[in-house]
Homo-oligomer: A and B are copies of this chain.
């Protein structure tokens, strides 16, 4: 199979066995899908009916104009993996209580005059609150975090009242999701090593959907995999439903985000649970 870039000897290739080459050029191939989830996907009908539909999760419609036409590549918004992975725009408020050790279970990182979540400890108030690696913390108890040093941010958490810490958060600004579909052999067509995507299989679902190399896998179907061993990540990939949504972060930014965090701590302490929707 052809990969980009060519695979060096000894690279870990969890999906090398039995790689199938998907047949269709355009994914999703609307003619092949025919009736997808009960929707008629005849091209003309799609154009007629979708042009005025408001944007829903992972659906894009571009209406005609100036000789340019658009089509919808539908990805069903009801898929649980997609929902779990969804990076929502705007801001959200989280209210936390400290645990009996008077901790919330967060480690933070200061990047570009913003404050980001570097670690969400398993079973902590932060984990219960739905906070995730890479979330940007904009405010702690009414104070804007812009320009704060790491010490200042950790201190604000430390001195906060035990029963109520109000955080204003922006969902994972440096991450994005890519939804792919397994082929008949169960593969989406990328190769990774130590969580970092290193190759794309030619014409695989990953390639068709624009997955990129030099990006770290942060989540699979919304479940955080940062710090897990490659074998553990492979298990999660294998047991994923056919529609798989991966959350990725550029390598350069990822390396800043995890600086001064031991890989052992990332593996053992990070919340790797499957999020609720």
Chain A residues proximal to chain B, CB less than 8 Å: 3-5, 25-26, 54-62, 65-71, 73, 75, 86, 88-97, 111-114, 128-130, 136, 138-139, 142-144, 146-147, 168, 170-171, 173-174, 176-177, 200, 202-203, 206-215, 250, 252-253, 276
Contact = CB atoms under 8 A, between A and B. Distances in A.
Nearest to A54: B56
Chain multiplicity (copies): 2
A171 B202 CA distance: 22
A273 to B, nearest CB: 13
Given A66-B128, A176-B173, A210 B146 contact: yes
B4 A200 contact: no
B95 A67 contact: yes
Contacts of A62: 92-94, 130
B26 A142 contact: yes
Nearest to A171: B60
B112 A213 contact: yes
Contact of A69 (B95, B111, B136, B142): B95
Nearest to A146: B207
A199 to B, nearest CB: 8
